[in-house]
Amino acid sequence: QVTTPLSTPSTVTSSDFAFAFDIDGVLVRGGQPIPEAVQAMKYINGENPYGVKVPYVFLTNGGGKSEEERCADLSRQLEMEICPGQFICGHTPMREMAEQYNTVLVVGGEGEKCRGVAEGYGFKNVITPGDIIKTRNDTTPWRRLTDEENENSRKIDLENTQIEAIFVFADSRDWAGDQQIILDILMTVEGKLGTRSEVFNEGPPCFFSHNDVIWSTSHEHSRIGMGALKTSLEAVYNAITGKDLNTFAFGKPQMSTFTFATKLLQDWRQDSHGIDKPPSTVYFIGDTPESDIRGTNEFNNKSEIDWYSILVKTGVWQDKTIPRYPPRKICDNVYDAIKFAIEREQ
């Protein structure tokens, strides 16, 4: 006689629907998991009354570390294994520009860490603000490198270096110094560091990994983020040169990011679950109307898949306000959101 132990109910992976998660303000806040997040991930992995497991990917605007390192952090926080094959961060799509630009300025993140991330993407000559300050410390009148930054920075040839593009990979740790250096480069002739333009429209392009003006941390009120730096930089550039500065942002709500996510989800479903058809619905759970909800709703208008936006209240949510981009559903937290979606599919 064959018996199936009751303690391990069999689970079935659904091929009909999938989830995409924002991270900050949905699963994590200030480096700690949101209380309902661990339970929510168990629910999605089969610990639910329907015995259903649902495939999912993560889509964060955050960054500053390699995808592998970020997944290791998230696996620890959520007590489950998360693979780079199901993860996109703000700077992931910048990988595709490594062929186009050789010498680049990479800004943001802890210490000199983003240099390694950019080199991992294949950028050949990565220069950081630390390199420029180490070479000429009066570049930033008030900023001095820490011993660690100094050790990890390299002196460069300021007269003969041409920066082909500027990439802001992660939040700047020093707005004044980083803005000074970005502005100096934007005001050159084609990124040649020894030059200064007379017309201020011949600098290299400047890319940001996302445009979130605010984001959710351990503080009870939202904190300003990379989108605020972008706005500030554009305003200062205009104040100095009288010209408008055109910068570019990746991340949510850009449609290209959602197209990238669709492909990632398709590959992940195929490779790890053996599903070879697209899902009918993707539930996107986010906390920021301007990036998560706006992007999901706009992408839904173009996509054959139903991208269903769910806003949770654990991030930048403010009581008694109406989200600028209305979601199709509002839930208290990620656990309620997953429960709602799985029940809706039954």
Residues 214-253 within binding reach of ligand G3P (CB under 6 A): 215, 225
Asked if residue 331 lies in contact with residue 337, where contact means CB atoms within 8 angstroms, the answer is yes
Q: H or E segment at 152? A: helix 147-152
User: Judged by CB, which is closer to ligand G3P: 46, or 84?
Assistant: 84
Pairwise CA distance, residues 189 & 6, whole Å: 71
- The SS3 assignment for 90 reads coil
- Least distance to Mg ion from the beta carbon of 177, Å? 27
Residue 119, CB-side half-sphere exposure with 13 Å CA sphere = 9
Asked if residue 162 lies in contact with residue 103, where contact means CB atoms within 8 angstroms, the answer is yes
Residues 273-292 within binding reach of Mg ion (CB under 5 A): 287-288
20, 25, 252, 331: which one contacts Mg ion (CB under 5 A)?
Answer: 25
Pairwise CA distance, residues 155 & 147, whole Å: 15
- Least distance to ligand G3P from the beta carbon of 91, Å? 11
Q: How many CB atoms lie within 10 A of CB 327?
A: 22
Query: If contact means CB under 5 to 8 A according to the sort of partner, which of ligand G3P, Mg ion, none does residue 61 touch?
Result: ligand G3P
24, 149, 171, 178: which one contacts Mg ion (CB under 5 A)?
Answer: 24
**Given the DSSP bridges, would you call strands 165-168 and 125-127 parallel, antiparallel or unpaired?**
unpaired
- Least distance to Mg ion from the beta carbon of 109, Å? 18
What's the token pair of residue 120? 């991992």
Q: H or E segment at 264? A: helix 255-273
Helix axes 175-186, 226-241, angle to 10 degrees: 50
- Least distance to ligand G3P from the beta carbon of 250, Å? 12
User: Judged by CB, which is closer to ligand G3P: 212, or 336?
Assistant: 212
Nearest one of 152, 157, 136, 168 to 144, comparing CA atoms: 136
Query: If contact means CB under 5 to 8 A according to the sort of partner, which of ligand G3P, Mg ion, none does residue 212 touch?
Result: ligand G3P
- Least distance to Mg ion from the beta carbon of 107, Å? 21
User: Judged by CB, which is closer to Mg ion: 287, or 290?
Assistant: 287
- The SS3 assignment for 331 reads strand
Pairwise CA distance, residues 241 & 231, whole Å: 16
Residues 289-318 within binding reach of Mg ion (CB under 5 A): 315
Annotate each residue in 49-68 with x if it binds ligand G3P (CB under 6 A) or - if it does not, as one string. -----------xxx------
Residues 23-42 within binding reach of ligand G3P (CB under 6 A): 23-25
Asked if residue 60 lies in contact with residue 89, where contact means CB atoms within 8 angstroms, the answer is yes
Pairwise CA distance, residues 255 & 200, whole Å: 30
Window of 16-24, 115-123, 132-140, 253-261 that interacts with ligand G3P by CB under 6 A: 16-24
- Least distance to ligand G3P from the beta carbon of 140, Å? 23
- Does residue 204 touch ligand G3P according to CB under 6 A? no
162 bridge partner residues: 192
Query: If contact means CB under 5 to 8 A according to the sort of partner, which of ligand G3P, Mg ion, none does residue 36 touch?
Result: none
- Least distance to ligand G3P from the beta carbon of 151, Å? 26
Residues contributing to the site for Mg ion (CB under 5 A): 22, 24-25, 287-288, 315
Residues contributing to the site for ligand G3P (CB under 6 A): 22-25, 60-62, 171, 210, 212, 215, 225, 288
